[in-house]
């Protein structure tokens, strides 16, 4: 089996620093303390591949592939000479070379932007599989976790056509979610491939959820630092707290006021360092995909999660109807293991649903 292997080395750098993406912002992300995650996650995926005897990789030089493959047991050949500072054009040129070299699968580490670059070249000519490493990972072409990628590469036998999605990052930073279809690709058929993003519209249920959280907060009368994730359901909670929160960002709220609006991981850790009371994280899963951590809310990092006294998962009934299970992909395998199991999801003022985190 011949596998093309491409890493977008800057992918995911904007996540924890709150940039909601890294397209054209790699230097700013680095200046704010953002670190590359795509190489680490690519290596995790490769180490989880079980059968390697007949696998041969075609890749790019340096941090676009070779530097990770040389740490593994796989045989490989560098067929694209990558510059020290890479761009989207390098991803496209590398994908085109791999397409012309007869690859059976193109495996890449990145986000929706990287997937869009690849689909513009390969279309539906060869199967494509993404290792989730970006900030935006809406497209149903990515594995649920890097470990799942390894299992899929080892075992898949059939493919299906999936859409590659991307969003307008400038609009996203201004609380607008404009999703665009960039094309279609063949993707291995497996339960380990994530679903596409679905939206939820049950306004009444969202308001009831928010009212229950506020009433519980008032009843307990405690000083609580709330870290509230992105989404339309959590936005109703922010409104009930009386703050003009961010629809697509993470906000920290205490006593009805902002500790930090549109917080980065550093902002959250700074707030936690000076607060010794109860810490509660309020999050809502991405519709259909079911991710509660690791997609679009990387600011709520493993270090932040470990400091929380309570994690509240909220979702309207119509969202849960199309979300069979919940997922976590924090980048910390030990933390992911602790977060798995059953969790109670608040879906109305009096309504809860027990859901499995897998």
* Residue showing tokens 């080892």: 154
Q: Which two tokens stand for residue 205?
A: 């249920």
What CA dihedral angle connects 298, 301, 302 and 303, to 10 degrees? Answer: 170
Q: What is the pLDDT of residue 29?
A: 46
pLDDT for 171 equals 63
Q: How confident is the model at residue 222 (pLDDT cuts 50, 70, 90)?
A: confident
Q: Can you give the residue ranges of every domain in the chain?
A: 2-188, 203-357
What average pLDDT does this structure show over 229-252? 94
Specify the pLDDT at position 23: 54
Work out the pLDDT band at 27, boundaries 50, 70, 90.
low
Summarize the confidence of residues 213-220 as an average pLDDT.
90
Nearest to 91 by CA among 70, 110, 75: 110
Average pLDDT, the chain: 88
Write a three-state SS string for 275-324.
CCCEEEEEECCCECCCEEECCCCCCCCHHHHHHCCEEEEECCHHHHHCCC
Express as a percent the part of the chain with pLDDT over 90: 65
For residue 291, the model assigns a pLDDT of 94
Of 25-29, 46-50, 123-127, the range with the highest mean pLDDT is 123-127
Taking only the tens place, the pLDDT of each residue in 181-191 is 889 999 999 98
Q: Are strands 105-110 and 2-7 parallel, antiparallel or unpaired?
A: parallel
Nearest Cα to Cα of residue 230 among 215, 252, 218, 247: 247
pLDDT value for 305: 98
Neighbouring CB atoms inside 10 A of 179's CB total 17
Give pLDDT tens digits for 63-87: 999 999 999 999 999 999 999 889 9
Listed in sequence order, the residues at least 6 apart from 189 whose beta carbon sits closer than 8 Å to its beta carbon are 156, 157, 158, 159, 160
CATH number belonging to the domain at 2-188, selected among 3.30.110.30, 3.40.50.10330, 3.30.56.10, 3.40.50.1820: 3.40.50.10330
Please give the CATH number for the structural domain made up of 203-357. Answer: 3.40.50
The pLDDT of residue 138 is: 80
Domains 2-188 and 203-357 share a fold: yes
Residue 229 · residue 297 · CB < 8 Å: yes
CA 76 – CA 1 distance, rounded (Å): 12
pTM over 0.85: no
Mean pLDDT of 167-177: 63
What's the pLDDT tens digit per position in 89-137? 999 999 999 999 999 999 999 988 899 999 999 999 999 999 999 877 8
**In the chain, where does DSSP find H-type helix?**
26-31, 38-47, 66-69, 88-100, 112-122, 146-155, 169-173, 203-220, 232-240, 265-273, 302-307, 317-321, 333-339
User: Higher model confidence: residue 334 or residue 113?
Assistant: 334
Residue 258 belongs to what H/E stretch? strand 257-260
Rounded distance between C-alpha atoms, residue 3 and residue 107, angstroms: 7
pLDDT in tens, 250-297: 999 998 899 999 999 999 999 999 999 999 999 999 877 899 999 989
The whole-number average pLDDT for the span 238-252 is: 93
């Amino acid at each position: 089996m011949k596998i093309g292997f491409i890493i977008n080395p800057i992918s995911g750098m904007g996540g924890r620093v709150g940039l909601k993406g890294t397209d054209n912002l790699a230097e700013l992300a680095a200046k704010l303390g953002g670190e590359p995650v795509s190489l680490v996650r690519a290596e995790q995926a490769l180490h989880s591949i079980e059968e390697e005897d007949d696998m041969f990789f075609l890749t790019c030089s340096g941090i676009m592939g070779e530097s990770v493959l040389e740490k593994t047991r796989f045989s490989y050949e560098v067929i694209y000479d990558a510059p020290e500072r890479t761009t989207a054009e390098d991803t496209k040129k590398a994908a085109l070379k791999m397409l012309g070299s007869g690859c059976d699968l193109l495996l890449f580490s990145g986000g929706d932007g990287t997937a869009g670059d690849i689909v513009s070249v390969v279309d539906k000519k060869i199967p494509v599989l993404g290792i989730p490493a970006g900030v935006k990972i809406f497209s149903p072409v990515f594995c649920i976790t890097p470990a799942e990628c390894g299992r899929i590469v080892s075992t898949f036998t059939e493919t299906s056509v999936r859409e590659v999605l991307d969003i307008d990052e400038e609009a996203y930073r201004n609380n607008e979610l404009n999703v665009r279809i960039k094309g279609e690709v063949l993707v291995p058929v497996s339960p380990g491939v994530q679903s596409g993003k679905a939206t939820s519209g049950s306004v009444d249920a969202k308001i009831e959820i928010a009212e229950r959280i506020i009433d519980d907060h008032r009843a307990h009368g405690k000083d609580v630092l709330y870290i509230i994730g992105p989404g339309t359901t959590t936005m109703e909670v922010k409104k009930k707290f009386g703050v003009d929160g961010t629809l697509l960002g993470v906000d920290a709220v205490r006593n009805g006021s902002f500790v930090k609006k549109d917080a980065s991981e550093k902002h959250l850790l700074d707030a936690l360092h000076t607060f010794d009371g109860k810490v509660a994280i309020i999050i809502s899963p991405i519709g259909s995909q079911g991710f509660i951590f690791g997609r679009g809310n990387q600011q709520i990092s493993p270090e932040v999660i470990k400091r929380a006294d309570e994690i509240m998962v909220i979702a309207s009934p119509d969202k849960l109807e199309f979300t069979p299970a919940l997922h976590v992909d924090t980048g910390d395998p030990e933390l992911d293991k602790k977060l798995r199991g059953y969790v109670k999801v608040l879906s109305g003022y009096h309504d809860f649903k027990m859901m499995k985190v897998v």
